[in-house]
Amino acid sequence: MNASKKIHKSDFLVIGSGIAGLSFALKTAQNFKDATITIITKNEKNECNTKYAQGGISTVWDKTVDSFEQHIEDTLLAGDGICDEKIVKMVVEEAPERLQELIDWGTKFDKTTNGNYSLGREGGHSQDRILHHKDITGAEIERALIEKVEKAENITFLTYHYAIDLITEHQVKKQQTKRQEKITCYGAYVLDEKKSIVKTFSAKVTMLATGGNGQVYSTTTNPVIATGDGIAMAYRAKAEISDMEFIQFHPTALFNPGEYPAFLISEAVRGEGAILRDYYGERFMKKYDDREELASRDIVARAIDNELKKSGTPHVYLDCTHLDYKAFKKHFPNITEKCMSLGIDVRKDYIPVSPAQHYICGGVNINKKGKTSLKNLYASGEVTRSGLHGANRLASNSLLEGLVFSNNAYENLKKRFHKIKEPINVPVWNDSGVVKNMEKILITHDRNEVKTIMSNYVGIVRSNERLLRAERRLRVLYEDNKRLYDHSELSTDLCELRNLITTAYLITQFSKNRKENRGGFYSADLV
Ligand SMILES: Cc1cc2nc3c(=O)[nH]c(=O)nc-3n(C[C@H](O)[C@H](O)[C@H](O)COP(=O)(O)OP(=O)(O)OC[C@H]3O[C@@H](n4cnc5c(N)ncnc54)[C@H](O)[C@@H]3O)c2cc1C
């Protein structure tokens, strides 16, 4: 792999173009008029988890029927006792202002016939408080943000640019760094996929907004870009990471073997009154929680998992046949069309569903200002552990999290940006070393193996024995990958595999260390 000798300098380097990265870039560009902002993203501009979000964004919009206290309480209840209460309060109270900003930037949310915003409800919410755009809210947000970003003269937006690693003292001063030390981030090494060269991007401030890592599991609603790159890069750079054991499995992904990623049947469908039935048509949620279908995700996903294990059947059903079809189709055109395309007519057929990995609650530690433990490295969105979600994220709180922490990072930088010095002595990527041709199929095999290990042993229900098995197998994959990485030509596939193995290993290690069942973590040995 060739390395470019040029250093690409900017004031702000934003890695990722989902809601977290774009909203940060936009805010920064509008308010630091003389600053240069570079966004790099590894695929098309809008390819990210955000684009696939269906349900919407939660906020207390109508205070005559809802209150901050209720939204806070719902979030804390879903988080199962380990949310950071101050962070929850801050996010919930800031939400209306951030949503208004998103609207001002051009995002269109659905309205009722009387002109007010139409507020949906999802599992775990005690009130209707989800702003949405049909059932394609994320795609609408991406459309609006990208349009706005493209008009900003001080933003350079680079697609198919893949961040390999963050640059710290480790490269700049060629010294080993330790996790507890004061470490500074100076930018990132980036693979320009079209030109096949590694570029060096130096920046005063780096914003990590790379999203989640659903691709470590065989069945996930996350698109292929969700390979945990940001978490793994930050871990290698010795940033603090936590809560990796809390994986959220969405209870109702469409059961359609062979379709990757799994198509989501939004929680909002249950919010509208859809009913879960077992393979034989019987309702079962009453056995698990008084809130039945509207219990939080961890509870519903575990209930379905239990039903599937007991019956040995591959899926349960979501029954929408009693709902008003016209209203259903208006709110969920995408879901209705998808079901129709598979011959499922929601007016008379039940929708086959099963749980799929959906979200990671843990990640890179940030404080309320979006700061990580590394100096000048900020992070926002699904890549982070902010304290908002605790052990289980409340539905529709994650788009909101990205908006709030990107804004807070910007607010913090307003105060300190002028003091940050331009990085010096940043070395260009070192491309020396033995490079052998490698069979690409080895990467595909290893990637599939990670998914199988994680789905078999680190899924909805874990145990000590399963975690040990996962750990042993992941170690072998780690060693194999290290050999490939050190001696093969660098490619996005290979780097992603390295990051998938790292984040799978972190989920397993954090799971081994957890000694009580909470939210998205459940071990059969701790019951
Ligand atoms: C099907 C689905 C439905 C959902 N529905 C909802 C919902 O209704 N409400 C809600 O609140 N949440 C929902 N979520 C969760 C929510 O969409 C995500 O948590 C949120 O969009 C994350 O935003 P983000 O900006 O942090 O990351 P993403 O939107 O995932 O963006 C990450 C970006 O980083 C880029 N990137 C990653 N690695 C690299 C690298 N190494 N180099 C360069 N670029 C890189 C990616 O290409 C992408 O542009 C849903 C998720 C899914 C999958």
Residue 121 domain-assigned (yes or no): no
Give the pLDDT of residue 180.
Answer: 64
The alpha carbon of 142 and the centre of ligand 1 are apart by a number of angstroms equal to 11
Give per-residue pLDDT as tens, 108-136.
999 999 999 999 988 889 999 999 999 99
How many domains are there within the chain? 3
Ligand 1: residue whose CA is nearest its atom 53? 222
Is pLDDT of 303 > 90? yes
Same domain as 157, residue 236: yes
Domain boundary among 388, 419, 450: 419
Is pLDDT of 178 > 80? no
Residue 208 domain-assigned (yes or no): yes
Q: Report the atom number in ligand 1 closest to the C-alpha of 21.
A: 25
Q: Report the atom number in ligand 1 closest to the C-alpha of 190.
A: 42
Q: Is the CB of 225 under 6 A from ligand 1?
A: yes
What's the mean pLDDT in 290-317?
93
Same domain as 232, residue 159: yes
Is pLDDT of 410 > 80? yes
What's the mean pLDDT in 306-333?
96
Same domain as 161, residue 308: no
Identity of the amino acid at 183: I
Backbone φ, ψ for residue 11 (5° rounding) = -75, -45
8 A C-beta contact, residue 279 and residue 354: no
Same domain as 175, residue 261: no
Same domain as 165, residue 231: yes
Q: Which region holds residue 238: left if phi is over 0, alpha if psi is between -120 and 50, else beta?
A: left
Same domain as 340, residue 234: no
Q: Give whole-number Cα distances, 427 to 173, 202, 486, in Å.
A: 9, 10, 19
Same domain as 413, residue 317: no
Same domain as 150, residue 35: yes
Q: Look-up: residue for tokens 């994650």?
A: 398
What's the mean pLDDT in 175-180?
73
pTM of the model: 0.96
Give per-residue pLDDT as tens, 41-58.
999 999 999 999 998 999
Is pLDDT of 434 > 70? no
- Of 142, 398, 496, the one to substitute when testing ligand 1's pocket (max ligand atoms within 8 A of C-beta) is 398
* CATH at residue 303: 3.90.700.10
Give the pLDDT of residue 4.
Answer: 83
Q: Give whole-number Cα distances, 225 to 13, 46, 123, 407, in Å.
A: 19, 11, 27, 24
Give the pLDDT of residue 355.
Answer: 96
Residue 211 domain-assigned (yes or no): yes
The alpha carbon of 359 and the centre of ligand 1 are apart by a number of angstroms equal to 9
Identify the band that residue 1 occupies on the pLDDT scale cut at 50, 70 and 90: low
Q: Domain residues for 308?
A: 251-355
Look at residue 305 and give its three-state secondary structure.
helix
Q: Which among 129, 297, 466, 473 is annotated as catalytic?
A: 297
* CATH at residue 484: 1.20.58.100
* CATH at residue 400: 3.50.50.60
Domain boundary among 339, 355, 371: 355
Angle between the 19-31 and 137-151 helix axes, to the nearest 10 degrees? 30
Residue 453 domain-assigned (yes or no): yes
Residue 403 domain-assigned (yes or no): yes
Domain boundary among 313, 332, 355: 355
Give the pLDDT of residue 356.
Answer: 97
Read off the tokens for 437: 């041709």
Give the pLDDT of residue 360.
Answer: 98
Backbone φ, ψ for residue 24 (5° rounding) = -65, -45
Residue 276 C-beta-side C-alpha neighbours within 13 Å:
33
Same domain as 149, residue 21: yes
Same domain as 484, residue 509: yes
Average pLDDT, the chain: 95
Give per-residue pLDDT as tens, 251-268.
999 999 999 899 999 988
Whole-angstrom distance, CA of residue 269 vs CA of residue 323: 10
Residue 75 domain-assigned (yes or no): no
8 A C-beta contact, residue 168 and residue 185: yes
Residue 262 domain-assigned (yes or no): yes
Q: Is the CB of 139 under 6 A from ligand 1?
A: no
Whole-angstrom distance, CA of residue 55 vs CA of residue 118: 12
Residue 224 domain-assigned (yes or no): yes
Is pLDDT of 388 > 70? yes
Least confident of 27-31, 66-70, 429-433, 450-454: 429-433
Q: Look-up: residue for tokens 């433990």?
A: 373
Same domain as 267, residue 225: no
8 A C-beta contact, residue 189 and residue 198: yes
Which string of b and e fits 344-366 if b means at least 16 CB within 10 Å?
A: bebeebbbbbbbbbbbbbbbbbb
What's the mean pLDDT in 332-347?
97
Ligand 1: residue whose CA is nearest its atom 4? 53
Look at residue 117 and give its three-state secondary structure.
strand
Whole-angstrom distance, CA of residue 146 vs CA of residue 234: 26
Is pLDDT of 161 > 80? yes
What's the mean pLDDT in 8-21?
98
Same domain as 161, residue 223: yes
Going 200 to 205 to 210 to 213, the CA torsion angle's sign is positive
What's the mean pLDDT in 457-477?
97
Is pLDDT of 432 > 70? yes
Q: What percent of the chain has pLDDT over 70?
A: 99
Q: Is the CB of 17 under 6 A from ligand 1?
A: yes
Is there a catalytic annotation at residue 121?
no
